[in-house]
Structure 1
Amino acid sequence: MTIRALAPLFVGDFEHYRDILVLPDDPRPAIPVRELITTDGLAWLLEHYRRFQPGDDRRALVSQWSRTYFVKLIVPTVAANMVLGHELPVALDKLEVILGDDGLPEAFRLPHEGQPFASKPEGPFERFKELLDGNFEPLIEGWNQQVKLSRKVLWNNAANYVEWLVHAMAGLGLPADMLADGKQLIESERRPDGGKNPMFSPVRYVERSSGPSPLRQRRQCCIRYRLPELALCENCPHIDKPPKGARLPESLVEQA
């Protein structure tokens, strides 16, 4: 069963996110996300994913898989949080992932439907604590330890989608104060304790003399080009100077 309290979110451009968050009565096989940062769990995941996405670069495989994980978890979770003031139980130890026929995350099974915040959160790091500290931080740290994939790459994979979502929701005419914590999350260089905010400034908008301008460009390359048949992303920071062996995306080749 999907979460009925979130139904107002999943209309128009966001309708296809309706069935991503499900409850314990969903019968599909699922994997506790916590297992995916163990040696055996990650080895199983990469072996399974290689059936659909060939490649020997474990770092690139994890990065590519994580992009689907992040976008599918971020969009409904962050939208529910900002628009409805509804907090969801998405910490690593609470969450299970359901894989699709392509080996990528299809849905997430939550232990319950969450609840409205008891009081208004004091800023983005309190509002998004469950997602950032409970899920992203241990997941990214675990993958970094297992495959030595840069934390910066993984955090940028996540923050990229938060930036996109905040701008997309602003484009729908949602009030600025409703989106303020999401905007502040990606505009704050430091956390309240003084530590660096890994979600800070995930993209830049670059003026170019040819092709699309300004180009929305990630700060970190997701290294997907290291996998067979995958080109650079359209918002890759290496678009103007591709690494050796990397291919431009077809959309940009056509405009060159």
Structure 2
Amino acid sequence: MIAELAPLFTGEFAHYRDIMALPDDPRPAIPATDVVTPDGLEARLMAYAPDCADGDRRALVSQWSRTYFLRLTVPTVAASLVLGWRLPVAFETLQIIIGDDGLPEGFKLPHAGERWNAAPDGPFERFSDLLDGNFTPFIEGVVGQVKVSRKVLWSNAGNYFEWLVSMMAKVPLPAAMIEDGQALIETACRPDGSRNPMYQPVRYVERQSGPSPLRQRRHCCVRYLLPELALCENCPHIDRPPAGARLPETV
């Protein structure tokens, strides 16, 4: 536990308190960069899903990345928006604590981070360490090993970012506090004119039957390629599932 983050993780968020750690944490960890080597990625996938040795690697890596994005996003974004605290999450200096289930359990940072000296100039500066320093090299490293679409992986990241910002808006927190979080997913282009891969990762769809409005991802995480898994509850294919796909029980 990083002491500066303690105010964030109470109540329903208490189980996130030990995700971010410092180098003296006794839990074993691997360099994040090992995950995007051929042997390292395969080892992670097999530790996560040993019964899927012949399973589709695109689906396996997508499912593994979902936990990676969720557990990295929640403390990093919450610390920035609520505490004004900048965590050092650069991919090349990050270590990943792997749980017994083969999934990312936490992260060791090189140091505890620091407070922003001045307010960041908008969402792309505020979240540059996360997006440019971590998500981009992680995603580029993964697609260099497995032919999974970048859109799938960025959608996994955006899905959890949007969920967290929506949850923070319901707490409620002052609107100004979460403004940069909302702006990141509502801005189509980055300041340099390039596409923002975090833009509108989900939509809220009115339906004739079932839950409505449905919080629905814009891009599928391709878990339907693993016959053992049902579609996600917010899958864009819920109303027209791919052949052979199983629907979740709650939709």
Fold match, TM over 0.5? yes
Cα separation, 2, equivalents of 1:61 and 1:155: 15
- 2:11 aligns to what? 12
Deviation for aligned residue 1:54: 6.0
Classify the secondary structure of the residue corresponding to 2:131.
Answer: helix
Residue 150 (structure 1) aligned with residue 149 (structure 2): yes
Q: Residue deviations 1:25-62, cap 9 Å, x none?
A: 11121111111111221122122222266651111000
Cα separation, 2, equivalents of 1:106 and 1:233: 21
Cα separation, 2, equivalents of 1:234 and 1:46: 23
Cα separation, 1, equivalents of 2:53 and 2:74: 27
Residue 223 (structure 1) aligned with residue 197 (structure 2): no
In structure 2, the CA distance between the partners of 1:85 and 1:98, relative to structure 1 (3 Å rule), is same
Cα separation, 2, equivalents of 1:5 and 1:47: 35
Classify the secondary structure of the residue corresponding to 1:90.
Answer: coil
The 5 Å alignment of 1:24-43 reads 24-43=23-42
Classify the secondary structure of the residue corresponding to 2:97.
Answer: strand
Cα separation, 1, equivalents of 2:54 and 2:176: 44
Cα separation, 2, equivalents of 1:47 and 1:211: 36
Cα separation, 2, equivalents of 1:151 and 1:109: 26
Cα separation, 2, equivalents of 1:55 and 1:248: 23
Q: Is the 8 A contact 1:155 1:199 kept in 2?
A: yes
Classify the secondary structure of the residue corresponding to 2:144.
Answer: helix
User: Which amino acid in the other structure matches residue 64 of structure 1?
Assistant: Q
The 5 Å alignment of 1:38-77 reads 38-51=37-50, 56-77=55-76
Question: Unpaired runs of 5+ in structure 1?
Answer: none
- 2:78 aligns to what? 79
Cα separation, 2, equivalents of 1:229 and 1:176: 42
Cα separation, 2, equivalents of 1:158 and 1:52: 26
Q: Residue deviations 1:166-214, cap 9 Å, x none?
A: 1100100101100000000000000000000000000000000101000
Classify the secondary structure of the residue corresponding to 1:197.
Answer: coil
Q: Is the 8 A contact 1:54 1:228 kept in 2?
A: no
User: Which amino acid in the other structure matches residue 201 of structure 1?
Assistant: Q
- 2:242 aligns to what? 243
Deviation for aligned residue 1:228: 3.6
The share of aligned pairs that are identical, in percent, is 66
Cα separation, 1, equivalents of 2:51 and 2:149: 24
- 2:103 aligns to what? 104
Report the TM-score when normalising by structure 2: 0.97
User: Which amino acid in the other structure matches residue 198 of structure 2?
Assistant: M
Report the TM-score when normalising by structure 1: 0.96
With 29-38 and 80-89 compared, the bigger mean Cα shift is at: 29-38
Cα separation, 2, equivalents of 1:247 and 1:9: 37
Q: Is the 8 A contact 1:54 1:227 kept in 2?
A: no
Question: Unpaired runs of 5+ in structure 2?
Answer: none
User: Which amino acid in the other structure matches residue 187 of structure 1?
Assistant: E
- 1:191 aligns to what? 190
